């Protein structure tokens, strides 16, 4: 596969080569042009429809407007997760009794808290996430939402390798939500992080009582060391604050687990697009066989990074006891219903929730607009590598955890549901 692929590259690019004058994460420079390129993200599409009179956003600021936006952007209310640590742009309005709600689908994140302004991160397939901020609540004449440059200071910082992407952290919050210390083992959340280091500063509902995590806890200092004290949520979140101020009364563990996976997966897809686009752009400027070899090496490296993330290669085991009770939560049902099922009814959104997140370990984000917008040379390489890993005739190093039955199921699902597979 690689020889044929790279022969095509060499023919296509001629004797082009890589230049090192610009880094791939200079997102505001060509060929990325983050600030000047025409946008194709869901929020910009919505604002265009509003400006053309196809729809309106006339609801009063607050929960009514939030619900309208969720409908327009096709985001589930049940995806709500609640963070009470003061680690966001409007940190002054966030507290354990007024947590910030985050709602999400595959392409959009919407953040809001009562008496706060709405923040939206909306994915453009090629540029990454575009950030929008609601006007001041007292303002009536300015546009309801405008593209924001303040958010990018954190969302294109070290955690995302200076590329515009989503964020999530786990911290040790005090009784007012202030972060006393962050969990520094990992700078960006993912399915690779041990569960006992996740969700510090977040509320977690529907979790099994024996699951060891940092959620629902306040940090205190004892003998100079930080200790977490778990709050009693036997009566639900209503014991802590007025849940009627929010669209739903939950912050379900299934949504948090999906959020953890999705944020990291989206970062990998974004970084891969930027790396390869920059390399192809630089290739057109020079004629050197050595740099053609560099491109081959880069495609191989990026391909392995994407495939290992898509196939949950480094997923941390969940431990068997994840969800309380036997019934499915609303988010789990809603999320599953959005999957692309094969002729046997199987979907990459089928949960496992025992020792791992999903039953079939290939990320549903393989269907995302971000993956579909990959440079063709990279997308072809990734698909071919996945086929190698899923082959029943061999076991690829590092992928021994995928047994033949699961490999066969994933291959069949992708064959029926992923165009070009």
Q: Per residue in 155-205, pLDDT tens?
A: 656 667 667 778 788 898 999 988 888 776 555 689 999 999 999 999 999
Question: What are the tokens at 76?
Answer: 């589930």
Q: Is residue 92 a part of any domain in this protein?
A: yes
- Kindly state whether residues 129 and 206 are assigned to the same domain: yes
The rounded mean pLDDT for the chain is 88
Least confident residue range of 78-92, 157-171, 402-416: 157-171
Is residue 157 situated within a structural domain? yes
- Residue range 102-129: average pLDDT? 95
The label of the residue with tokens 């096709």 reads: 74
Whether the pLDDT of residue 3 is over 50: the answer is: no
**Is 185 in the same domain as 121?**
yes
Q: Please identify, among 253, 269, 298, the residue that sits at the C-terminal boundary of a domain.
A: 253
Range of the domain at 233: 42-253
Residues 176 and 287 in one domain: no
C-alpha of 156 from chain center:
14
Provide mean pLDDT across the span 262-288: 86
pLDDT at 179: 86
Assess if residue 29 is contained within a domain.
no
3-state helix, strand, coil in the chain (%, to 5): 35, 15, 50
Shared domain for 161 and 51, answered yes or no, is yes
What phi and psi values does residue 171 have, to the nearest 5 degrees?
Answer: -135, 175
CA distance linking residue 200 with residue 198, whole number of Å: 6
Which pLDDT does position 12 carry in this prediction?
Answer: 37
Q: Examine the domain organization and report whether 244 and 143 are in the same domain.
A: yes
* Alpha-carbon span 256 to 278, nearest angstrom: 33
Give the residue-averaged pLDDT of 233-243.
Answer: 91
Please give the average per-residue pLDDT across 227-233, as a whole number: 88
Percent of the chain with pLDDT over 70: 89
Q: What is the pLDDT of residues 207-222, one digit of tens each?
A: 999 999 999 999 998 8
DSSP state of 390: H
Query: Distance (Å, rounded) from C-alpha 43 to C-alpha 117?
Result: 16
| Mean pLDDT, rounded, for 343-352 | 97
Q: How confident is the model at residue 36 (pLDDT cuts 50, 70, 90)?
A: confident
Find out whether 343 and 226 touch, Cβ atoms under 8 Å. no
CA dist 252 and 271 (Å) reads: 29
Task: Report pTM.
Answer: 0.90
pLDDT of residue 197: 92
- What is the rounded average pLDDT of the residues 104-108? 97
CA dist 397 and 384 (Å) reads 16
pLDDT band at 275 (very low <50, low <70, confident <90, very high): very high
Last residue of a domain, one of 233, 253, 273: 253
Q: Are 269 and 356 within one domain?
A: yes
Q: Are residues 182 and 266 in the same domain?
A: no
Residue 321 belongs to some domain of the structure: yes
**pLDDT given for residue 16 in this prediction:** 35
| pLDDT confidence band for 1 (50 / 70 / 90) | very low
Provide the pLDDT for residue 311: 98
pLDDT at 21: 57
Distance CA 240, CA 360 (A): 37
Both 391 and 363 in one domain: the answer is: yes
Residues 150 and 193 in one domain: yes
Is residue 34 in some structural domain? no
pLDDT confidence tier of residue 52, bands split at 50, 70 and 90: very high
* Within-domain flag for 6: no
Shared domain for 310 and 363, answered yes or no, is: yes
Do residues 408 and 392 touch, judged by C-beta distance below 8 A?
yes
The verdict on 232 and 375 lying in the same domain is no
> Span 145-162, mean pLDDT?
70
pLDDT-derived band at 10 (thresholds 50, 70, 90) equals: very low
Is it the case that residue 43 has pLDDT exceeding 80? yes
Verify that 209 and 304 share a domain, yes or no.
no
Domain count, the chain: 2
Q: Is the dihedral of CA 52, 53, 54, 57 positive or negative?
A: positive
Residue 345 lies in a domain: yes
Answer whether residue 15 is part of any domain.
no
């Amino acid at each position: 596969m690689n020889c044929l692929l790279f022969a095509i590259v060499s023919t296509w690019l001629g004797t082009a080569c890589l230049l090192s004058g610009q880094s791939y994460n200079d997102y505001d420079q060509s060929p990325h042009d983050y600030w000047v390129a025409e946008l194709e993200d869901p929020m910009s599409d919505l604002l265009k429809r509003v400006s053309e009179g196809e729809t309106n956003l006339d609801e009063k600021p607050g929960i009514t407007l939030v619900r309208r936006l969720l409908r327009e952007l096709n985001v589930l209310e049940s995806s709500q997760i609640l963070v009470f640590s003061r680690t966001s742009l409007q940190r002054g309005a966030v507290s354990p009794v007024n947590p910030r709600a985050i709602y999400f689908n595959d392409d959009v994140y919407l953040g809001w808290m009562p008496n706060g302004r709405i923040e939206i991160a909306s994915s453009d397939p090629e540029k990454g996430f575009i950030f929008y901020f609601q006007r001041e609540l007292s303002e009536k004449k300015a546009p309801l939402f405008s593209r924001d440059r303040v958010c990018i200071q954190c969302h294109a910082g070290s955690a995302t390798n200076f590329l515009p992407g989503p964020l999530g952290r786990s911290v040790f919050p005090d009784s007012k939500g202030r972060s006393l210390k962050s969990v520094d083992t990992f700078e960006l959340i993912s399915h690779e992080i041990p569960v006992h280091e996740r969700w510090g500063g977040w509320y977690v509902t529907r979790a099994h009582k024996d699951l060891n995590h940092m959620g629902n806890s306040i940090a205190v200092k004892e003998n100079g060391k930080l200790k977490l004290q778990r709050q009693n949520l036997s009566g639900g979140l209503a014991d802590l604050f007025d849940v009627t101020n929010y669209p739903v009364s939950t912050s379900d563990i299934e949504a948090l687990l999906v959020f953890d996976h999705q944020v990291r997966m989206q970062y990998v897809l974004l970084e891969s697009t930027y790396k390869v686009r920059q390399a192809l752009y630089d290739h057109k400027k020079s004629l050197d066989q050595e740099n053609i070899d560099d491109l081959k090496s880069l495609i191989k490296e990026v391909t392995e990074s994407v495939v290992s993330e898509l196939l949950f290669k480094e997923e941390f085991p969940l431990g068997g006891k994840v969800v309380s009770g036997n019934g499915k939560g609303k988010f789990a049902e809603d999320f599953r219903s959005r999957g692309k099922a094969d002729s046997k009814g199987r979907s990459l959104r089928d949960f496992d929730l025992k020792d791992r997140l999903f039953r079939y370990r290939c990320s549903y984000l393989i269907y995302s607009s971000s993956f579909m917008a990959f440079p063709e040379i990279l997308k072809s390489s990734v698909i071919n590598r996945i086929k190698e890993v899923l082959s029943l005739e061999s076991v690829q190093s590092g992928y021994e955890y995928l047994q033949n039955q699961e490999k066969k199921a994933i291959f069949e699902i992708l064959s029926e549901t992923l165009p070009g597979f």
